[in-house]
């Protein structure tokens, strides 16, 4: 069994599967991906049928990166011979005095040259009569928004990584990481491996791995949940008739057309309790569900019905909710990525960046501000800013 590789990736969820894929495209059989659980497991943040993909963000940097995110998915689709991204169009709904002004989104889209439409509540309800909105709500529509099918994307990343020569090993939890003069030694699943460059993409388990390098960063882990509703009006919520949507306020809600299950999907952003990867439960919270029900009954009344399915997942967020995407300052042959619970749309692109950091020693993409060494990650009581 081969145990020495140029590259090892720890964690094979959204970002890690992207990293092992893009590394394998260039380094082939010199790439090893290690996953502590089974492949495509449901314990982290990259499972279920759907994640939102969109250009609409509140800073020009993120809007600019979305262009690269779409491009990475397009390249993966071409390589795999399989369609992944489903463009439904998307709307951002901004009530008066919203937590983040809609102007932050429009100015960021303008700065990068991404087209969009602005409309009032009446026009939005004319185009999407499923919504019930008050007159103060402004609506931003962007035609390229849609669905990234999360579990399918991870599976395709991993399938194509294997096709390019990578080795993938599941049920291989890390017992030890030892920096060496010329690389890194990793003991996982009872086997000792060596590599020249290590990539960590471990989500809620990130600090468990960083501890081997004497490092701990401030990450908040929460247990979130989604609900699929058994509406008698499911035909009105099909992807060709209903967009993805985000309610841009605090609390922030978001949702999807019918995709993967028999009804539309709704959730709250950062609505769940603080947990750890080891102490979280998989049980939905009735109070959380009551908030979702109330929002749907108020703003999407024909979507409401008995829940078909409730699912939980983990968010892993730095205090500023910006990505972590950089080498370790004191170990330049080790990179770490944390998606901040809004990165699935970027996961293939982030995997590509991680491959560039590992193979080229740098990237031409704008990842400034995502350094693992930035001060806020080491503050004892940082200000938490979780709106995106």
Domains of the chain: 4-46+151-218+320-378 (3.50.50.60), 89-146+220-317 (3.30.9.10)
pLDDT tens-digit profile of 143-181?
999 999 999 999 999 999 999 999 999 999 999 999 999
pLDDT for residue 371 is more than 90? yes
Closest CA to 148 of 220, 256, 278: 256
CA pair distance 228, 301, nearest whole angstrom? 14
Mean pLDDT of 67-93: 99
pLDDT for residue 99 is more than 90? no
Instruction: Encode burial over 25-51: b for 16+ CB neighbours within 10 A, e otherwise.
Output: bbbeebbbbbbbbebbbebbbbbbbbb
Mean pLDDT of 250-262: 98
Distances (CA, A) of 359 to 2, 88, 209, 363: 20, 36, 21, 10
- Residue 217 φ then ψ, to 5°: -115, 155
pLDDT for residue 387 is more than 90? no
Confidence of residue 67 (pLDDT cuts 50, 70, 90): very high
pLDDT tens-digit profile of 295-340?
999 999 999 999 999 999 999 999 999 999 999 999 999 999 999 9
Confidence of residue 195 (pLDDT cuts 50, 70, 90): very high
CA pair distance 310, 206, nearest whole angstrom? 26
Residue 191 has a CB neighbour count (10 Å cut-off) of: 13
Mean pLDDT of the chain: 98
pLDDT for residue 100 is more than 90? no
| Per-residue pLDDT at 323 | 99
Mean pLDDT of 258-276: 98
Residue 274 has a CB neighbour count (10 Å cut-off) of: 11
pLDDT tens-digit profile of 102-124?
999 999 999 999 999 999 999 99
Confidence of residue 352 (pLDDT cuts 50, 70, 90): very high
Could you tell me how many helices (H) and strands (E) the chain has, helices first? 8, 19
The percentage of residues in the chain with a pLDDT greater than 70, rounded to a whole number, is 100
CA pair distance 35, 277, nearest whole angstrom? 15
| Per-residue pLDDT at 388 | 79
| Per-residue pLDDT at 318 | 99
| Per-residue pLDDT at 117 | 99
pLDDT for residue 206 is more than 90? yes
Distances (CA, A) of 381 to 217, 264, 378, 384: 12, 38, 9, 9
Q: How far apart are the first and last CA of the chain?
A: 45
Confidence of residue 2 (pLDDT cuts 50, 70, 90): very high
- Token pair belonging to 347: 């996961």
């Amino acid at each position: 069994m081969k145990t020495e590789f140029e590259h090892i990736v720890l964690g094979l969820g959204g970002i890690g599967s992207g990293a092992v894929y893009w590394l394998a495209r260039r380094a082939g059989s010199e790439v090893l991906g290690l996953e502590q659980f089974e492949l495509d497991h449901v314990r982290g943040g990259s499972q279920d049928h759907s994640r939102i993909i969109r250009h609409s963000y509140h800073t020009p940097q993120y809007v600019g990166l979305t262009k690269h995110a779409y491009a990475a998915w397009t390249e993966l689709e071409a390589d795999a011979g399989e369609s992944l991204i489903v463009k439904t169009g998307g709307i951002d709904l901004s009530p008066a005095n919203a937590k983040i002004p809609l102007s932050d989104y429009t100015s960021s889209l303008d700065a990068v040259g991404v087209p969009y439409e602005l409309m009032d509540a009446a026009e939005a309800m004319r185009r999407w009569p499923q919504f019930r909105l008050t007159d103060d709500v402004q609506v931003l529509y962007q035609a390229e928004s849609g669905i990234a099918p999360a579990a399918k994307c991870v599976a395709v990343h991993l399938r194509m990584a294997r096709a390019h020569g990578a080795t993938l090993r599941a049920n291989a939890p890390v017992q030890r990481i030892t920096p060496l003069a010329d690389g890194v030694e990793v003991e996982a699943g009872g086997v000792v491996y060596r590599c020249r460059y290590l990539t960590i993409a471990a989500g809620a388990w990130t600090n468990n791995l960083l501890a081997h390098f004497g490092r701990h960063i401030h990450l908040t882990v929460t247990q979130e949940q989604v609900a699929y509703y058994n509406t008698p009006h499911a035909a009105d919520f099909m992807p060709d008739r209903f967009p993805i949507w985000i309610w841009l306020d605090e609390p922030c809600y978001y949702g999807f057309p019918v995709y993967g299950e028999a009804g539309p999907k709704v959730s709250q952003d950062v609505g769940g309790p603080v947990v750890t990867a080891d102490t979280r439960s998989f049980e939905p919270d009735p109070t959380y569900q009551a908030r979702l029900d109330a929002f749907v009954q108020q703003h999407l009344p024909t979507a409401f019905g008995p829940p078909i399915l409730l699912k939980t997942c983990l968010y892993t967020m730095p205090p500023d909710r910006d990505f972590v995407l950089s080498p370790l300052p004191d170990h330049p042959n080790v990179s770490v990525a944390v998606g901040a619970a809004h990165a699935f749309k970027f996961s293939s692109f982030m995997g590509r960046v991680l491959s560039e950091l590992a193979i080229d020693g740098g990237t031409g993409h704008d990842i400034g501000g995502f350094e693992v060494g930035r001060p806020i990650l080491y503050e004892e009581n940082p200000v938490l800013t979780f709106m995106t």
